[in-house]
């Protein structure tokens, strides 16, 4: 998803941002938040089942047994075809994609222990490329200092860059922007590093 050079740039940006604030910043990237196997399989089954009513218009074409075999072959071919990521993502409703990505983001927030930082100043930047989903999750300490509208502006810019295939540059710009905001509301008072500074990449 990102080159080694881009990952190093992200890590350096995190270190630079954290050097100016007491907040802890964690970045997580995943190529896809779910396999959506159940959705692609349902689509394949639905289209294969459509063969039965179509057979009523061509009763002389195949007998019952041949039609049954053809349905299974069609189902298997469509199920395999719909596993291709670009096609899969078109079959999945946007609401489902965002719901799944949001769940993964919240799971990572807890798994990376951002809820247990000193002063409750943890911040997660989560990106799921296939869903074009970006979310910034701030713990209670930061949520009281920075309103949701500010984070929304940062996220919207990030999403526009991800859609253009510029995920690496978008990450760096987002971290720099977050670093500026964090330095304003929670400037560094003590040197510490509670959480990892590198980009965490999930294997989904």
Contacts 24+ apart (CB under 8 A), 68-74: 72/48, 74/47, 74/48
Residue 119: its H or E element: none
Rg of the Cα trace of the chain?
23
Pick the CATH number of 4-33+93-202 from 3.40.50.11540, 3.40.50.2300, 3.10.310.50, 3.40.50.620: 3.10.310.50
Predicted confidence at residue 180, as pLDDT, reads: 94
CA distances from 82 to 32, 147, 176, 190 (A): 15, 41, 38, 52
Predicted confidence at residue 89, as pLDDT, reads: 93
CA 84, 87, 88, 94 dihedral sign is positive
Taking Cα atoms as reference points, which of 148, 149, 145 lies closest to residue 185?
145
CA 95, 97, 98, 100 dihedral sign is positive
Predicted confidence at residue 62, as pLDDT, reads: 60
What six digits make up the tokens of 43?
């689509």
Predicted confidence at residue 64, as pLDDT, reads: 65
Residue reference for tokens 């304003």: 184
Predicted confidence at residue 15, as pLDDT, reads: 92
Predicted confidence at residue 88, as pLDDT, reads: 92
Predicted confidence at residue 204, as pLDDT, reads: 57
What six digits make up the tokens of 48?
């294969």
Q: How many CB atoms lie within 10 A of CB 126?
A: 27
Domain locations along the chain: 4-33+93-202, 37-91
Predicted confidence at residue 192, as pLDDT, reads: 79
Predicted confidence at residue 57, as pLDDT, reads: 65
Provide block-wise average pLDDT over 10 residues at a time, the chain (204 residues).
Answer: 87 92 93 92 90 66 71 91 92 94 95 88 92 92 89 89 84 93 91 81 78
Residue reference for tokens 């459509």: 50
């Amino acid at each position: 998803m990102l080159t080694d050079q881009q990952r190093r740039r992200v890590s350096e940006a995190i270190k630079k941002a954290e050097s100016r604030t007491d907040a802890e910043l964690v970045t997580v990237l995943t190529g896809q938040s779910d396999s959506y196997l159940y959705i692609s399989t349902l689509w394949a089954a639905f289209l294969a089942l459509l063969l039965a009513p179509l057979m009523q218009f061509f009763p002389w074409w195949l007998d019952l047994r041949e039609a049954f075999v053809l349905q299974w072959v069609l189902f298997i071919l469509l199920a395999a075809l719909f596993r291709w990521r670009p096609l899969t993502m078109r079959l999945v409703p946007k609401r489902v994609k965002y719901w799944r990505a949001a769940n993964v983001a919240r799971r990572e927030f807890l798994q990376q222990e951002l809820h247990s930082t000193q002063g409750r100043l943890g911040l997660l930047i989560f990106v799921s490329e296939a869903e074009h989903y970006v979310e910034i999750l701030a713990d209670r300490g930061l949520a009281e200092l920075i309103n949701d509208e500010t984070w929304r502006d940062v996220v919207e810019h990030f999403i526009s860059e991800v859609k253009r295939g510029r995920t690496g540059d978008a990450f760096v710009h987002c971290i720099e922007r977050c670093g500026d905001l964090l330095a304003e509301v929670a400037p560094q008072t003590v040197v510490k590093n509670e959480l990892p500074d590198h980009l965490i990449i999930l294997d989904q």
